[in-house]
Amino acid sequence: MPVTRIATLLRDGQPGENVTVKGWVRTRRDSKNSFSFIELNDGSCMKNLQIVVDGAIPDYETSIRLVTTGASISVEGVLKESPGKGQRVEVHAVSLAVLGTADSTTFPLQKKGHSLEFLREIAHLRPRTNTFSAVARVRNCISRSIHNFFQSRGFLYINTPIITTSDCEGAGEMFQVTTLDLARIAKIQTEIDWKQDFFGKPASLTVSGQLEAEIYATSIGDCYTFGPTFRAENSNTTRHLAEFWMVEPEMPFYELTDNMDLAEAFIKAMINDVLEQCPEDMEFFNQRIDTTVLAKLENIRSNSFERLPYTDAIEILKNCGRKFDYAIEWGGDLQTEHERYLTEEHFRKPVILFNYPRTLKPFYMRCNDDGRTVRAMDVLVPGVGEIIGGSQREERLDVLTERIRECGMNPEDYWWYIDLRKYGTVPHSGFGLGLERAVLLITGMTNIRDVIPFPRTPGHAEF
């Protein structure tokens, strides 16, 4: 008999049906007159399935003592209306088989209530907990929502390279990729001949698929890339990973305000989808992780985002009477404390900051006529800070070439990017959203290490 997932059974199962379920035991309780109750979870939903085992089933005595927390079992039985509270139906077992035991003296998840820090040490077992399985389901829902949002608008999903020889952000936070035997070279040479390397020059893991996405946007139209992204930033924060997932839409003929409109609609669509498709998991987050998360999301989806020039934000921060750790000066980068003050306390809703000083932003952002700012936009949200970074791109050949030089780079290295401005250039825009930052926002979790299955941070790549 095919296995039915517990989520399906609890939703659609009809009393009288014969079913087979398989999963991992959360708890077992025995009653005096040789009856046992098993709470079974298979990860398909937050709720456990209650299984009633009569001592009269075959091999009851030998198998039931192996049914301990963490063990995997297979059960055939009949669905019955449940007299107990908390579930509509339960399974009365006809036969039970233990697939894999879990030694109760060593199984780390014997009891509930472990700290998130402890669970990070056992990333191979943490998805067996309510919190991490809920995060996995919501993360999946957000990924589906991302594809639906763009697909329903006719965007093409493209894949940009993971190994690259250009540094998009010019920030130098890249992981090098090489096949050279560096240990050997260190012993016999003082310099490395990159011509001997696999690609004939230094290569790295990508920090963004944007430059390549621009190539496709300016030929096939609206498109998006969604893939792993790598940044060797040595900042041990709760919002940075060395490996994260980024979705980057790129749109020809979009100016900065069109870009903002899309970003706002996009964030609202993700929230709507999760609230609609994962109500049970969201209820859990609201009860156990952050009691304000549902109200916060309701507020975000029902209000328009504040749109504010960087220069005005600096004025607000200077005059707000708040003492910040980092000083505020026009031309300085906003720190998380500034971003969060604006979105959480001053406006109490998402804020789109735009027109940043050109000295703060990469070469590809379109220069404004004031000579001081570029058409950048960052979307800031409560609880997280920056969730999206984007811009209108510089489409003018001469300005772009000059900006590349100004940023200390060689235009020749970007010849293909410059070509796009030589042949049929158009105004265009795009942005990048970090998937994990979206999961933080929507679940109310506070550490980015807890919203990706296997976090990579400085010194940590165990699993």
* Shortest Cβ 208–ligand ATP spacing (Å): 7
- In sign, the C-alpha dihedral spanning 25, 30, 36, 39 is negative
Q: Which of 139, 231, 393, 456 binds ligand ATP (CB under 6 A)?
A: 231
E strands present in 63-123: 72-81, 89-100
Contact between 436 and ligand ATP (CB under 6 A)? yes
Contact between 437 and ligand ATP (CB under 6 A)? yes
Contact between 432 and ligand ATP (CB under 6 A)? yes
Measured CA angle at 21 (ends 20, 22), to 5 deg: 130
Contact between 241 and ligand ATP (CB under 6 A)? yes
Contact between 256 and ligand ATP (CB under 6 A)? no
Q: Of 394 and 436, which CB lies nearer to ligand ATP in the complex structure?
A: 436
Q: Of 284 and 414, which CB lies nearer to ligand ATP in the complex structure?
A: 414
* Shortest Cβ 260–ligand ATP spacing (Å): 14
What backbone phi and psi angles, to 5 degrees, belong to 163? Answer: -95, 130
* Shortest Cβ 388–ligand ATP spacing (Å): 5
* Shortest Cβ 213–ligand ATP spacing (Å): 13
Contact between 214 and ligand ATP (CB under 6 A)? no
Residue 40: beta bridge partners? 25, 49
Tokens in use for 436? Answer: 């994990």
Give the neighbor-by-neighbor strand order of the sheet with 306-309: 156-158, 223-230, 243-252, 428-434, 385-392, 373-381, 351-357, 306-309
Other beta carbons within 10 angstroms of residue 323's beta carbon come to 5
Q: Of 28 and 456, which CB lies nearer to ligand ATP in the complex structure?
A: 456
* Shortest Cβ 317–ligand ATP spacing (Å): 16
Span from 38-46, 90-98, 319-327, 428-436 in contact with ligand ATP (CB under 6 A): 428-436
Which amino acid type is present at position 206? Answer: T
Token pair 């809703």: residue: 349
Contact between 246 and ligand ATP (CB under 6 A)? yes
* Shortest Cβ 323–ligand ATP spacing (Å): 22
Measure Cα distances from 421 to 210, 399, 417 in Å: 15, 10, 7
Q: Which of 155, 244, 254, 363 binds ligand ATP (CB under 6 A)?
A: 244
- 13 sits in which H/E element: none
Contact between 233 and ligand ATP (CB under 6 A)? yes
Residue least distant from ligand ATP (Cβ): 389
* Cβ pair 366, 359 in contact under 8 A: no
Measure Cα distances from 423 to 252, 322, 397 in Å: 14, 50, 10
- The count of residues interacting with ligand ATP (CB under 6 A) is 16
Residues 366-395 contacting ligand ATP, CB under 6 A: 386-389
Which amino acid type is present at position 349? Answer: K
Other beta carbons within 10 angstroms of residue 141's beta carbon come to 21
Residues 144-163 contacting ligand ATP, CB under 6 A: none
Residues near ligand ATP, by CB under 6 A: 169, 231, 233, 240-241, 244, 246, 386-389, 432-434, 436-437
